[in-house]
Amino acid sequence: MSSREVVVLSVGGVRFVTRASTLQQFPESRLARMLNDDDWEFKLVNGEFFVDRDGALFSYIMDFLRTLQISLPADFSDYQRLQREAEFYGLYPLADLLSQEHLLKPRLEILEVRFSLQEMQAFFRIFGSCSTTIEALAEQITVFTGQQSGQGWNSPFPSQKPLIPLPLERPSHHDVVFLCGTEYSAGDQFVARYVSIKPDNRKLINGTNVLGLLLDMILKDGFRLISTRTVASEEKVECYTFERMKRAAGLTITVNQTLGSSGVACARRSQVQKGK
């Protein structure tokens, strides 16, 4: 029976088709022993192994055996039941991982945008609980600077003078600071700062327009707005707070093969993020 390439299982009425080698990933598990007719719990009926267990949860067992990773939906909550199923099948590295729910549960990510308008300049500060998100935002935002003559917020910028991109201020890994608008320079010259936010190619100098584009980009990235408030200070600062549920990264099981499935197992986070 262990030489069969294709194996069919009926778990709680749900049918699964897989390779024998997949079920033998952990040689000491009950699924591996099943192929040698070495476990009474698994009944062979009309060429299919029948198991009186939860079929829906077994789909996660199969995914684990195929990939040696565990990635669960954001709304998954049956950690104890799935752990019990893993123990039933003798998949103890998986059971050990499921006992550490904090590694698998989705986490709440917070993003805060602060906006202040002062005369002809607009100031922005973005703070995020996830530094990776802040890094991604910083790559999408570019500030361009140059000099122009005349006065006024909407003064046209001479096309013959190219704009120079500036690096964004990064006070820490968790925030980014930039500004746009105009400010006095020598004589009748003004320094103008424009903001471009990918994938939009426009260069905007009006702070209100930049704010609208920035908030729209954040919403499209999967965040939802949960609060707006004005910070009480000498300068009015508008504060917009966003949140999103971030799925845990996939976890990979590594087993000391010299000791078999009862040996030392360790879990490490996969470098590939499983969704946002």
Counted domains in the chain? 2
Instruction: Determine, yes or no, domain membership for 121.
Output: yes
- Give the domain CATH number at 85: 3.30.710.10
Instruction: Determine, yes or no, domain membership for 44.
Output: yes
Task: Give the residue, 46 or 266, on which the prediction is more confident.
Answer: 46
> What phi-psi label fits residue 237: left (phi over 0), alpha (psi between -120 and 50 degrees) or beta?
beta
Instruction: Determine, yes or no, domain membership for 51.
Output: yes
Instruction: Determine, yes or no, domain membership for 69.
Output: yes
* Domain membership of residue 178 as a residue range: 109-151+158-245
Instruction: Determine, yes or no, domain membership for 263.
Output: no
Cis? peptide before 199, omega within 30° of 0: yes
Instruction: Determine, yes or no, domain membership for 268.
Output: no
Does one domain contain both 97 and 121? no
Per-residue pLDDT tens digits for 179-204: 999 886 666 677 889 999 999 989 99
- Residue-level pLDDT at 148: 66
Instruction: Determine, yes or no, domain membership for 17.
Output: yes
Does one domain contain both 113 and 241? yes
Q: Tell me if 61 sits within 8 A of 73, measured CB to CB.
A: no
- Domain boundary among the residues 105, 135, 170 is at 105
Task: Give the residue, 80 or 235, on which the prediction is more confident.
Answer: 80
Instruction: Determine, yes or no, domain membership for 255.
Output: no
Task: Give the residue, 16 or 107, on which the prediction is more confident.
Answer: 16
Per-residue pLDDT tens digits for 210-268: 999 999 999 999 899 999 998 866 678 999 999 987 766 666 666 554 444 444 445 44
d(CA 181, CA 145): 10
Q: Is this model's pTM higher than 0.75 or not?
A: no
Q: What percent of the chain has pLDDT over 90?
A: 51
Instruction: Report the mean per-residue pLDDT for the chain.
Output: 82
